[in-house]
Amino acid sequence: MDEHNHEHGPKQITDAQLRKLRGQYFTVRHPRVPECNHKSDVINEPRHRNCQHCWFSWLESHPELVKVADEAYIEQGAAFLDKMRGKTFRVMFCRYMATKLKMQKEKEQDEQGNVSQGVLPEEQS
């Protein structure tokens, strides 16, 4: 056996390979909110505290939190929600819920208008 062909332990990873692996497995990619172009952290509350688009997008991606916050708001009131998540969260949550309610009402009105005109929802496309 030739002594020069023996492998002495595991191969060392080069810096370029390490950077590639780090980018592939550890780097968190934050998508942008289309309406405002801010980066959106899908886990933590929006960094842009007063951006309604960021809050709407973030709350849309957390339906369980919205459900719990809605129940807490109904049962305990605004002060409880302030203590639980903060005033900014409550304000943006209330705006989000008002927007969702308005969107739902508009959708129902559109459907009723189409039905009264004789157009079925499947035929709209």
Residue 18 sits at the vertex; the CA angle it makes with 24 and 40, to the nearest 5 degrees, is 35
Domain assignment of residue 20, yes or no: no
Distance CA 103, CA 109 (A): 10
Domain assignment of residue 9, yes or no: no
Task: Give the per-residue pLDDT at 42.
Answer: 82
Domain assignment of residue 5, yes or no: no
**CB distance 44 to 55 below 8 Å:** no
Domain assignment of residue 125, yes or no: no
Domain assignment of residue 11, yes or no: no
Domain assignment of residue 40, yes or no: yes
Domain assignment of residue 23, yes or no: no
Distance CA 95, CA 120 (A): 32
Paired tokens of 81: 């929600």
The per-residue pLDDT string of the chain (125 residues; one tens digit each, 9 = 90 and over) reads 444 555 566 788 899 988 888 888 887 888 899 999 999 888 889 999 899 999 999 999 999 999 999 999 999 999 999 999 999 999 999 999 999 999 999 999 888 877 666 655 555 54
Q: What is the dihedral of CA 96, 98, 104, 110, to 10 degrees?
A: -120
Task: Give the per-residue pLDDT at 125.
Answer: 46
Domain assignment of residue 118, yes or no: no
Distance CA 60, CA 64 (A): 10
For the chain, what is the domain count?
1
Domain that holds residue 46: 31-112
